Chain A
Amino acid sequence: MASLAARNGGSQRDQRPLKKRLADASAPYLYSAPALILIVTVMLVPLVLGISYAFRDIQLLKPFSGGFIGLDHFRTLSQDQNFYRALRNTLWWTGWSVLLQFVFGLILALLLDKPFFGRAIVQALVFLPWAVPSFLAGLNWAWLFNPVVGPLPHWLFALGIMSEPNNILSDPQLAMWGPIIANVWWGIPFFAITLLAALQAIPRDLYEAASIDGAGPVKRFLSITLPFLAPTIAITVLLRTVWISNFADLIIVMTNGGPADRTQIVASYIFTQAFKRLDFGYASAIALVLLALLIIYSMLIVVLRQWLLSKD
């Protein structure tokens, strides 16, 4: 930026090289300016505005709202049982989704790692769910769980798992499994693709050397594959945890938080407050708490990593 300021004070006699110098110095800023301006106005400004909403009374249906009310929203929030339930549901939703996506994604990556006839086609087919729009994935699974048009309740009934072919999405005890299963179906490809890339970067001769030394497949997996994958696994699981805890699409489409708020997670609760009740102030207050929790989570991870590194 210093060279930009030099434009006004630039001398006449050295014009051409100076002009060229200026052009060279400002080039990267010019290249990135359009993208930056857009990010700042459409993401950063609303982010700051949203933080300010958390301390204001902003309701679309109340024309004279908008005044600062200090910490009132947070006081309400600390008494809000629905919020605490949403918090517990978020842990449940995120924990099971990440765990199942990771386990099945890892198995799929291992299966696809060795060459076999038709691998390219198989790969395209098993990764296809990733391309399905999330709203459609949600609707599709909601239909599969619906005993009127879907086969799943009848199959579960035939297997003796359910006593009647009911819709699990309307059963308060089981409803959360609906979005979780849809999420696992939708998210396996992400883990499989990332882990497959990491698997294929492992030098093959390591395996050969290990099997010459008499290591069986389990030993090879534990002593070669797993240590090599560990960094990828760690970073992918951590980032996905944050992403999935914020991912409300499937829940909004499949259950809309019901029945009896049993599937409401914090992200869908925020959306419901803003979209249905048009209470932007309260929605922003919850969002701010969610942001704080996510920041604490990330800091814990960083601290944990430092601690583990210093121990070695």
Chain B
Amino acid sequence: MAGHSLTKGRVVALLAHRLAILAYVAFALFPLYWLLKVSVTPNKLLYSEGIRMWPSQTSFEHFDFVLKHSEFPTFFKNSLIVAGSTALIVTALASLAGYALSRFSFRGKYWIVALMLLTQMFPLVMLVAPIFKMLSPLGLTNSLTGLVIVYTAFNVPFATFLMQSFFDGIPKDLEEAAMIDGATQFGAFRQIILPLTLPGIAATLGFVFTAAWSELLFSLMLISGNAAATFPVGLLSFVSKFSIDFGQMMAAGVMALIPACLFFLLIQRYLVQGLTAGAVKG
């Protein structure tokens, strides 16, 4: 085709494409860049060099303060425990349920899928009050266990669909062959199918961890003291208490960003599959 030679029109189109891409990258990264920038700006320069792109001097004083003299390490640890346990439990339950949906046709399957879809459709904010009322007499408010239970339930339906899509990609002959050789169905599932789904399991772990790490409304409602506060609760109470110290807040914000970004790198390749499996979720 004639279009392959570098005509003037093609150069312009190429340039426009690259510039548009550049604009998107800048828009996506700028807020995070600014977060990082303010977190390393020493207090004495924070206001005098307010909108400079990079401070004339950098320091880690805010990180130092946040790590040593604030409760953020506790919040960080709490969030890590909650998000980590939720991810592990959800992935275990979702592999089992996803396997059932992928490999068996059974009575009630339609209703199970319908129930799981229903849980993705109604506004979760409806559940804030009743869940608080249910967990409170059980001593599960203001407790990390309570949060893990709630987050696990919220994430299981989406994770089940995700795991089902990964199981669907593995041919059935594999476990049939193993079962002819004398393995039970569960044995075949555990020894043959699960190892093949490891990338899918990693992706599910990543999705659920990110979701639990980010959850805000239920942790605000269920947690009141500092001892069991997760990162969002701690950061928001910090914002309303010491709204002047931007450097420290942004240093804490950078800390909250780190695990989310790590898990994002882990699941990046599976984003399409994950988002289509849970198109209703964020």
Contacts and interface: CB of A to CB of B under 8 A. Distances in A.
Nearest to B264: A131
A248 B125 contact: yes
A275 interface: yes
Contacts of A189: 28
Contact of A267 (B108, B125, B279): B125
A284 B232 contact: no
Given A36-B97, A249-B217, A270 B25 contact: no
A280 B279 CA distance: 30
Contact of A140 (B34, B131, B280): B34
A62 B28 CA distance: 47
A280 B35 CA distance: 37
Contacts of A173: none
A131 B261 contact: yes
A294 B122 CA distance: 8
A288 B130 CA distance: 13
Main secondary structure of the interface of B (DSSP, over half): helix
A228 interface: no
B239 A194 contact: no
A148 interface: yes
B216 interface: yes
Given A133-B213, A143-B38, A149-B50, A243 B280 contact: yes
A148 B46 CA distance: 9
Contact of B275 (A41, A112, A193): A193
B6 interface: no
B101 interface: yes
A180 B209 CA distance: 26
B279 A239 contact: yes
Nearest to A138: B216
Interface string A46-75: 110110010000100000000000000000
B96 A31 contact: yes
Interface in A165-222: 185, 188-190, 193-194, 196-197, 211
A47 B126 contact: yes
A310 B108 CA distance: 31
B150 A111 contact: no
A139 B135 CA distance: 29
B133 A49 contact: yes
Interface stretch (A11-19, A80-88, A121-129, A299-307): A121-129
Given A27-B186, A188-B28, A193-B272, 19 more contacts: A25-B106, A28-B103, A29-B106, A31-B97, A50-B126, A111-B17, A128-B32, A132-B32, A133-B260, A139-B253, A141-B31, A143-B35, A143-B38, A148-B50, A148-B246, A149-B246, A274-B129, A280-B129, A283-B129
25 contacts: A1-B108, A25-B106, A27-B100, A27-B185, A27-B186, A38-B156, A39-B153, A43-B154, A116-B17, A127-B28, A130-B271, A133-B216, A136-B260, A139-B235, A139-B253, A140-B35, A150-B34, A151-B51, A185-B27, A189-B28, A194-B279, A253-B236, A271-B125, A271-B221, A274-B221
